Amino acid sequence: MDVLVTAAFAFLLGGILLRMTVFLRRPQGRGVQPGLPIRGGRLGLVEALLFRRLWRDAPSLWLASMAFHGGLAALLLAHLNIAPHLLRAPGAAAMIGGLAWLLGRRLVLPAMRRISAPSDFLLLLLLLANALSGAAFLWLVPGEMSLLVHQGLGIVLFLVLPFSKLLHAPGIVLSPSRRVLHD
């Protein structure tokens, strides 16, 4: 099983790299720059990662998204054996809470339902299932079976992600319009 998980993870990394290469190419042929001259000048990496504008425009979305992504990052580190005891519980809480909020608003708000495809729900569900099965294994029903379920879900996630909208990740730094116009 561990081998399978590792293989699936390698597949994920390969997929990310392959899809990222597309955006490293400079745009050609188009005469009008895609940059947005957003006030305050160049968007630094810090600004890019903090999404200050989103914080002001939609604080609850910002919070849910930060909780989910922060929790995910913490749990990734924990899986790599970096401070697992410190990171596990808060990471899981943040990830599950954030995902539940994201899923809830997508289900409840008519505007959100309207712009969502089935895959938008399924991806959130898959992530939530991963987080919940991991939490179950750690704290509720430890044992072989729980671990297998969690690992199986992990493999599915790694295989699906390269085909998903995961691409928003490199976009944080590589987005053409977030390259500021005044270059």
Partner 1 sequence: MTEEKTARPHRARPESLEALGFPGELPEDWQQRAVAALGRRVRKQPDLRFFLNACVKCGACNDACHAFLGTGDPGNRPVARQDLLRAVHRRHFTLAGRLFPKLVGALDLDEAMLERWYSYFHQCSECRRCATFCPFGIDTAEITMAARSILAEIGLGQKSVAEVIAKVHRTGNNLGLNPRALRHTLDSLEEDVREETGMDIRFPLDEAGADILLVTPSADFYSEPHVSGLIGYAKVLHAAGISWTLSSHASEAANFALFLGSDEHMRRIARRIQEAAEELGTSRLVFGECGHAWRVAYNFPALLGGDVPRPRHILDLTHELIGNGIIRLDPSRNAGMAVTLHDSCNVARGSGMGVHPGGQLDIPRAVLAAAVPRTVEMPAGTTGDRTFCCGGGGGLLTDEMMEIRIKGAAPRAAALRQAVEGSGATHMAAICAICKSQFSEVLPHHGFDRGMVVGIMQLVGRALVL
Q: Which two three-digit tokens encode residue 81?
A: 């054996």
Q: Which two three-digit tokens encode residue 133?
A: 């099965």
Whether residue 155 contacts residue 130, with contact meaning beta carbons closer than 8 Å, is answered with no
Q: Which is nearer to partner 1, 77 or 126 (CB)?
A: 126
Region binding partner 1 by CB under 8 A among candidate stretches 74-82, 88-96, 111-119, 143-151: 111-119
Question: What is the rounded distance in angstroms from the CA atom of residue 180 to the CA atom of residue 25?
Answer: 17
Question: Which of 2, 81, 85, 118 is in the footprint of partner 1 by CB under 8 A?
Answer: 118
* Stretch 122-151 residues interacting with partner 1 (CB under 8 A): 122
Binding mask 67-106 toward partner 1 (x if CB under 8 A, else -) reads --------------------------------------xx
Q: Please, what's the b/e burial string for 146-158 (b: 16 or more CB within 10 A of its CB; e: otherwise)? A: bbebbbebbbebb
Q: Which is nearer to partner 1, 36 or 138 (CB)?
A: 36
